[in-house]
Structure 1
Amino acid sequence: MSDAEYEVRNVLEARARLGEGPVWDEMTQTLFWVDIYNHRVHQFFPERESSRSFDVGEVVGSLAVIDPQTLLLALRHQLARLDLATGEVERLITVEEGKPRNRLNDGKCDSRGRFWIGSMSREEGEAALYRYDPDGSLHVMETGLTISNGLGWSPDGKTFYLTDSPEKTIYAYDFDAA
């Protein structure tokens, strides 16, 4: 950080139980985030300092922006679309159906629009990392995780990072977006 001074102020009383996964949408100039245990997706409009939220009916771990009217959600065991105009949730694909103690957790989109989503488990080594492609296909990318968290890429896009929280480990993978 530089020596510049910044003003920090509260712009929204969100009252989230477990607010996570902020995603800034350049197209709409709004901020999205999830309230995992209150089953809500929030959208904040900084220009007018107002917000709205959507009850998605179950635990929601993370989200990605598809277009100005649609979000991709990581629900407990499913990926789903949220229509921002209607609030309707359309379930797309089931993930880890045979692992009732797991749920989907942190997720991020790469530069090609693929959604990378990790699961979390109460049992050591029972979670995984998945990649959901725009064509609707789901790929297992890594196994043996416990709580997949902190997904991200290096500024040059050549390294993918993944945290396994209880293991206190950050993994760095060579990454080729092609």
Structure 2
Amino acid sequence: MKPMLDDTIKIIISSQCQLGEGAYFAKAHNCLFWVDILGQRLFRLHCQSMRVSQFTMPEPICWVMETEQAELVAGFAKGVYKLNSEDFSRELLYAIDHEPSQNRLNDGKTSRQGFGFFGSMDSQEQTNSGKLYRFGHGQAPTAVDHDYTISNGPAVSKNGQFLYSTDSDKQTIYRFTLN
């Protein structure tokens, strides 16, 4: 006998994002973070209390990650910053200033090896000027792929061997071997 599934969709968090992305569970903080890129907001769901908080950012925030030292790192439109986990003030770690002026960062994830991967994209979604970057373990962000219009969804395979990266405009998923 098959269990009956409830096909009702329920809203459990109404965050009203203009462009909500990048859900990330920060284990050491026991929180789920996500961003509203166009609304320039960071959201935090504290998993124990189920309380949602939002924080206004000074520019578009594109992703959040947690380091092995439980520090929060975030990609903003033009750079990678360390975030203070109390007030979410920021400190510049890496400026991404060799991108075309119309580009901004977009979407990022971490690998099991502790590297961060994130993309950049043309804010107007017109040209393939975006890149895929890798950083971590004291290394500054380095472009590892290019020619993205809308770099999206870096994701690591369940076995940790592959990185998947998407160009949403081209409707193409790329697979890279992580080694």
- The letter for the 1-side match of 2:84 is D
Q: Quote how far apart the aligned CAs of 1:25 are.
A: 2.1
Q: Quote how far apart the aligned CAs of 1:68 are.
A: 8.1
Q: Which residue of 1 aligns with 2:90?
A: 89
Q: Which residue of 2 aligns with 1:9?
A: 10
Paired residue secondary structure (1:57): coil
Q: Which residue of 2 aligns with 1:46?
A: 47
Paired residue secondary structure (2:28): coil
Q: Any conservation in 2 of the 1:96–1:102 contact (CA below 8 Å)?
A: no
> Whole-Å Cα distance in 2 between the matches of residues 68 and 36 of structure 1?
26
Q: Any conservation in 1 of the 2:45–2:52 contact (CA below 8 Å)?
A: yes
Q: Unmatched 5+ residue regions in structure 2?
A: none
Q: Quickly say closer, same or farther: Cα 1:168–1:47, change in 2 above 3 A.
A: same
Q: Any conservation in 2 of the 1:149–1:164 contact (CA below 8 Å)?
A: yes
Q: Quote how far apart the aligned CAs of 1:4 are.
A: 5.9
Q: Any conservation in 2 of the 1:69–1:83 contact (CA below 8 Å)?
A: no
Q: Quote how far apart the aligned CAs of 1:164 are.
A: 0.5
Q: Quickly say closer, same or farther: Cα 1:49–1:101, change in 2 above 3 A.
A: same
> Whole-Å Cα distance in 2 between the matches of residues 42 and 77 of structure 1?
20
TM-score (norm 2): 0.87
Pairing partner for 1:164 from 159, 163, 167: 167
Q: Quickly say closer, same or farther: Cα 1:150–1:3, change in 2 above 3 A.
A: farther
> Whole-Å Cα distance in 2 between the matches of residues 9 and 47 of structure 1?
20
Q: Quickly say closer, same or farther: Cα 1:86–1:68, change in 2 above 3 A.
A: farther
Q: Which residue of 1 aligns with 2:132?
A: 129
Paired residue secondary structure (1:27): helix
> Whole-Å Cα distance in 1 between the matches of residues 144 and 4 of structure 2?
41
Q: Any conservation in 1 of the 2:132–2:145 contact (CA below 8 Å)?
A: yes
Q: Quote how far apart the aligned CAs of 1:47 are.
A: 2.8
Superposed CA offset, 1:30-60 (max 9, x none): 2100011111111102332211122221011
- The letter for the 2-side match of 1:70 is E
Q: Quote how far apart the aligned CAs of 1:28 are.
A: 2.8
> 1:66-77 to 2 correspondence within 5 Å?
66=67, 70-77=71-78
TM-score (norm 1): 0.88
> Whole-Å Cα distance in 2 between the matches of residues 158 and 87 of structure 1?
33
Q: Any conservation in 1 of the 2:28–2:70 contact (CA below 8 Å)?
A: no
Q: Any conservation in 2 of the 1:78–1:93 contact (CA below 8 Å)?
A: yes
> Whole-Å Cα distance in 1 between the matches of residues 17 and 88 of structure 2?
19
Q: Which residue of 1 aligns with 2:152?
A: 149
Using the TM superposition, name which of 167-176 and 45-54 deviates more.
Answer: 45-54
- The letter for the 1-side match of 2:72 is L
Q: Unmatched 5+ residue regions in structure 1?
A: none
